[in-house]
Chains A and B, each alone.
Chain A
Amino acid sequence: MTSRSVIACLVVAVVASALGVVYSSHVVRELYSRQQQVEYGQWQLQEDYSRLLLEQSTLASPHRVISIAQEDLAMSAPALSMERVLHGFGGALR
């Protein structure tokens, strides 16, 4: 009688653990595919980030800024005679 109930218990346990294995491998697969998606997203964001970084530094490159300032906007560095020092604003070296 007791041995029978032990066997029954074991059978139930085996079935339960088998289902558990099925379930957990399902969860693993699901999580893995989500991780893959997230990784792909990360990859694409990185792609965007470095592209934007390059774009920004191209647009803001001193070379471009100077040529726009000098040619398009007709700007020039002020001669010393045009400079005026405002005191009390900090930032100056002395």
Chain B
Amino acid sequence: MSGGRAKVTSPTLWRLAVVALCLLILFGMLISRLVILQVVDQDRGARFLQQQGAMRTIRTSEIPAYRGLVTDRRGQPLAVSTPVVSIWANPQLLTDPAEIERLAPVLGASASALSERIKLYADKQFMYLARHQTPEQARAILDLGLSGVHGEREYRRFYPAGEVASQLVGLTNVDGEGISGIELAYNDWLRGQTGKKRYLKDLHGDAIRNIGVIEQAQSGKPLALSIDLRLQYLQHRVLQRAMVETGANAGAAVTLDARTGEILAMTNHPVFNPNSRNGFDYAATRNRVVTDVFEPGSTMKPLTLVAALETGAFTIDTLIDTSPGRIQVGRKVLPDPRNYGEITVSRVIEKSSQVGVTKIAQQIGHEPILDVFQRFGLGEPSSIGFPGERSGSLPSRDRWSDIEKVTLAFGYGLTATPLQIAHAYTVFANQGRQVPLTLIKRSDTQTVEFRQVVSPQIAQQVLAVLNRVTGTEGTAQKARVDGFSVGGKTGTVHKVGKSGYLDDQYVALFVGVAPIENPRFVTAIIVDQPKGDNYGGGAAAAPIYSAITDGVLRLHNALPLTEEAGTQLVGLGGGA
């Protein structure tokens, strides 16, 4: 080889140069092609290729956001999100019958059914196999190591209070969006913001490298309701028991704090279990306290009394002659159960005398009564913004017949929700003031805005009359609570059918205020179609009020009436 260089002659050199040039040109073409593909952005150039590459390997996935906790006013959880794993598969990869055979028993399905299901999605790249598995269940599935089967983190909603607050708290759908109740009304507050992250996947769809988080997930905010779960539970228990005893179709109860406008408890019958969607009864998901309207009937008589007192023509001691125990208005005769004779205005309300109220209404006319109804918030939606809430209606007529003017005073011809009726009564419990309602806990420092609806004197007088309704002469003796004085008004309303009022179907109502000396809590009870002889407000609804209010006053440490408590000290000593 030492002589090799000398042997190189000009022709060989020339040939070498040609070969080298060719190679160089080829190399140059290669480089320029590479530059075109990698750098120059033209048709099917660098950007196109990058896009195509990314489409095949880079994926964006969602980071689930934690949905805010819903609690009662004392921090007891009412709706909790727990982490779960949803199992999904790429049906184009999950084709091996042996793998499907292994997967089926873990999912609790037969292999044939599962492969049928997978076939349905054969031209897709994504299908859910099982949603919302507990982390342990999910691990059992994922540990099989099947091709194309993956887990995805999600949250599932649990409702620890179960049926006790089911209509109130509401539900979320499987994707974690509120669909009813508080969950829907405050969805934006509770929901949080789903995050996004980008990752690199391999041929099998497994994430091999995370590229980064594009958007952080933001947790939803917690929500403290004005509800007291202890009270809610008590109300629920009392209501369910009463529904069995009266054989009623449905019922609802609501307790308000008149001073703050907070809704302390709100229950319904029938109920449903929010933690299981099996045998789901849609009628039971209705929160009847806000979605159902009734004619409030005699529970409106105290409002008629307000209208009468405001004219100045009446005091609660004005005498009204109700004999002979019936009165003719137009073509209709309105009877009292018996002839009460000459009684005071107060006694008219206590006895719920049709004749007495008719005479008052005829004297003052319907306008002042309608005005009072309006001022007390009837016919307009409350401020709670509950989904499906109805506002009821007040009659608006050009021409009023004599009977219409009178029946308005009895609470017929208008409709209201149980919540509205209870809200109207807060006026009597709060010195003539009405505070806007809320389902959200108010902080102690928050100043409460209110409307002065009637004068404190009139509110006080009506309260005294309401108290007498539960007295020995009144219609609501069953509403009494041991050791406390309470007040309220019964109502018994004929249900409306296809051909007008039904003779044998009733709605029983009771609305009460407690305690009378220091009024604060208003509770309204509605019993829809109680069976048997005890269908009236005094028989069907008042006992429910009594049981609930007993609990309300105990829970709030209300002081029993002193003289009675004094006599009991002896009893305690003797008993011990």
A residues lining the B interface (CB < 8 Å): 32, 36, 43, 46-47, 50-51, 53-54, 57-58, 60-63, 77, 79-85, 91-94
A93, B516: Cα distance in complex, Å: 12
Partner of B77, one of A57, A84, A92, A93: A57
Q: Do A91 and B557 touch (CB < 8 A)?
A: yes
Shortest CB distance B295–A (Å): 34
Interface set, chain B 73-108, CB cutoff 8 A to A: 76-77, 80-83
Most-contacted residue by chain B among A46, A80, A82 (CB, 10 A): A80
A83, B573: Cα distance in complex, Å: 11
Cβ of B137 within 8 Å of any chain A Cβ, yes or no, is: no
In the complex, chain B residues whose CB is within 8 Å of the CB of A94? 517-518, 558-559
Q: Do B559 and A92 touch (CB < 8 A)?
A: yes
A19, B575: Cα distance in complex, Å: 90
> Given A61-B160, A91-B557, A93-B520, A84–B569 Cβ distance below 8 Å?
yes
**B234: nearest residue on chain A (CB-CB)?**
A62
Most-contacted residue by chain A among B212, B558, B560 (CB, 10 A): B560
Shortest CB distance B544–A (Å): 17
Q: Do B559 and A80 touch (CB < 8 A)?
A: no
**B574: nearest residue on chain A (CB-CB)?**
A81
Cβ of B120 within 8 Å of any chain A Cβ, yes or no, is: no
Q: Do B564 and A32 touch (CB < 8 A)?
A: no
Q: Do A85 and B560 touch (CB < 8 A)?
A: yes
Cβ of B531 within 8 Å of any chain A Cβ, yes or no, is: no
Can you spell out 24 A-B residue pairs with CB atoms less than 8 angstroms apart? Answer: A32-B210, A47-B82, A47-B135, A50-B82, A50-B158, A57-B160, A58-B160, A62-B234, A79-B482, A80-B482, A80-B568, A81-B571, A81-B572, A82-B568, A82-B571, A82-B575, A83-B568, A84-B568, A85-B560, A92-B558, A92-B559, A93-B520, A93-B557, A94-B558
Shortest CB distance A62–B (Å): 4
Shortest CB distance A48–B (Å): 10
Q: Do A83 and B483 touch (CB < 8 A)?
A: yes
Q: Do A54 and B80 touch (CB < 8 A)?
A: yes
In the complex, chain A residues whose CB is within 8 Å of the CB of B229? 62
A3, B551: Cα distance in complex, Å: 94
**Number of B interface residues, CB 8 Å?**
40
Q: Do B483 and A53 touch (CB < 8 A)?
A: no
In the complex, chain A residues whose CB is within 8 Å of the CB of B210? 32, 36
For B149-190 the 0/1 string (1 means CB < 8 A from A) is 000010000101100000000000000000000000000000
Interface set, chain B 481-528, CB cutoff 8 A to A: 482-483, 515, 517-518, 520
Cβ of B556 within 8 Å of any chain A Cβ, yes or no, is: yes
In the complex, chain A residues whose CB is within 8 Å of the CB of B135? 47
> Given A43-B153, A50-B81, A80–B560 Cβ distance below 8 Å?
yes
**B213: nearest residue on chain A (CB-CB)?**
A35
**A46: nearest residue on chain B (CB-CB)?**
B83
Q: Do B564 and A51 touch (CB < 8 A)?
A: no
Interface set, chain B 30-75, CB cutoff 8 A to A: 66, 69
Count of A-B residue pairs with CB < 8 Å:
86
Known pairs A62-B230, A81-B572, A83-B560; list 4 more (Cβ under 8 Å): A46-B82, A53-B160, A81-B575, A82-B571
A54, B77: Cα distance in complex, Å: 8
Interface pairs A-B: 3 shortest CB-CB: A57-B160, A50-B82, A62-B233
Cβ of B565 within 8 Å of any chain A Cβ, yes or no, is: yes
A32, B200: Cα distance in complex, Å: 14
A53, B158: Cα distance in complex, Å: 10
A76, B267: Cα distance in complex, Å: 24
A62, B160: Cα distance in complex, Å: 11
In the complex, chain A residues whose CB is within 8 Å of the CB of B572? 81-84
In the complex, chain A residues whose CB is within 8 Å of the CB of B564? 80
**B554: nearest residue on chain A (CB-CB)?**
A77
Q: Do A57 and B76 touch (CB < 8 A)?
A: yes
Shortest CB distance A53–B (Å): 5
Interface set, chain B 402-428, CB cutoff 8 A to A: none
Q: Do B559 and A43 touch (CB < 8 A)?
A: no
**A57: nearest residue on chain B (CB-CB)?**
B160
A77, B554: Cα distance in complex, Å: 10
A77, B565: Cα distance in complex, Å: 16
**B229: nearest residue on chain A (CB-CB)?**
A62
**A55: nearest residue on chain B (CB-CB)?**
B160
In the complex, chain A residues whose CB is within 8 Å of the CB of B158? 50, 54
Shortest CB distance A51–B (Å): 7
A85, B572: Cα distance in complex, Å: 11
In the complex, chain B residues whose CB is within 8 Å of the CB of A83? 483, 560, 565, 568, 572
Shortest CB distance A25–B (Å): 11
In the complex, chain A residues whose CB is within 8 Å of the CB of B230? 62
A61, B558: Cα distance in complex, Å: 24
In the complex, chain A residues whose CB is within 8 Å of the CB of B83? 43, 46-47, 50
Shortest CB distance A20–B (Å): 19
In the complex, chain B residues whose CB is within 8 Å of the CB of A61? 160-161, 233
A2, B153: Cα distance in complex, Å: 61
A47, B136: Cα distance in complex, Å: 11
In the complex, chain B residues whose CB is within 8 Å of the CB of A47? 82-83, 135
For B275-316 the 0/1 string (1 means CB < 8 A from A) is 000000000000000000000000000000000000000000
Shortest CB distance A12–B (Å): 25
Shortest CB distance A75–B (Å): 14
Q: Do B483 and A80 touch (CB < 8 A)?
A: yes
Shortest CB distance A77–B (Å): 8
Most-contacted residue by chain A among B66, B82, B562 (CB, 10 A): B82
Q: Do A93 and B82 touch (CB < 8 A)?
A: no
A77, B550: Cα distance in complex, Å: 11
Q: Do B66 and A46 touch (CB < 8 A)?
A: yes
Partner of B556, one of A36, A85, A93: A93
**B209: nearest residue on chain A (CB-CB)?**
A29
